[in-house]
Structure 1
């Protein structure tokens, strides 16, 4: 804590609120330290979330690209089924058997394709997860711009800079920027949870036991993370809130 009476000379009488008065320079110095402490943790969290949301969106996009194919008819499998039926008919004719003994292909090109319920659920969950992840990345980019604009030093006299800083601070509090930044991890966790649910539904037709094992692993991991939070984060958040209330 600086002694601003020694750092800045005393103002002449009746000039205590002049553009270059000591009160404005003191306010500017104090606000720079306060804003740096308030924004530092939020900026680091936004950077981490932005990287993770980008990587997670790329992973989910790969799964969505593969899963979305099940929403339309698989003409490759349909052609293979008809070709297998044609070969079976030729073999039946060559052996003197009747064509009626050959099993007909289950596919009908003239019928309307209806995807399975599991495919609809998997695609719905994964598309929702992808949208939430991209939304998190978008809000993180906007929040990073807000934080950069808030900490940018304005030009002008100390009084003008103090007024601009106070105007920014009031807008910062009015739009609850720190609350929005704090909700970004929650949005990312929701996207992860929805993706894991979709992965379990995707694994059920392949191997039911594997899907149950995977579901319990995810459940135990989330329980462990939720019941053992990092105390240092809460202490730091309390310190920042305390600094805001005392400013």
Structure 2
């Protein structure tokens, strides 16, 4: 690749890029011309499949295993982006963990594991993004519309995502003068494995009926919002939580 081509390439890192919303985001950003680093926690086959989909369509991508709560592994994720593609312009932090139980019954080991991924992981990735993103870049975290809906059994998960929203607001202000935007996307019920796992058909149908649009969201719905926020067209949106949920209030 020529130096001119390298300089013109926009580069995205997508954590949690092997499945669900992250996987759809990888495909969507690649379609916009991004070279994509697909971060994954454990399923190498799914991550490599995402890379193969991108390269088959004429794009460029590479898969990198990284525990988002491990600062050394996250640093290597960013170093790979710089080494392979020349820098980082967009960071989409889609990796997350969800465990549902009433507060009175929640296993504290599950609480700790969820907070390690959702809070510490977001902080570690955001810190590296703040140090690395080029001018005109974007950091996009993931919250959840459940933060405002207060569904039973979502107490610990909502608390972890409330922390993500707080970090988003602070980091947007800390990056004043850098020409870098910081936002969070807060999906409503979305048809991913993470959401569907453990729910019966009656529960899924009830949740699908809640939005005025009367369906579950899809990973593609959310990836479109992410792509907009990462694009020059979305660059005036900064320090916001975008509740992409079909109109649930």
TM-score, with normalisation over the residues of structure 2? 0.24
**Structure index of larger Rg:** 1
Greater relative contact order, per chain length (Cα 8 Å cut-off, separation 6+): 1
Higher helix share: 1
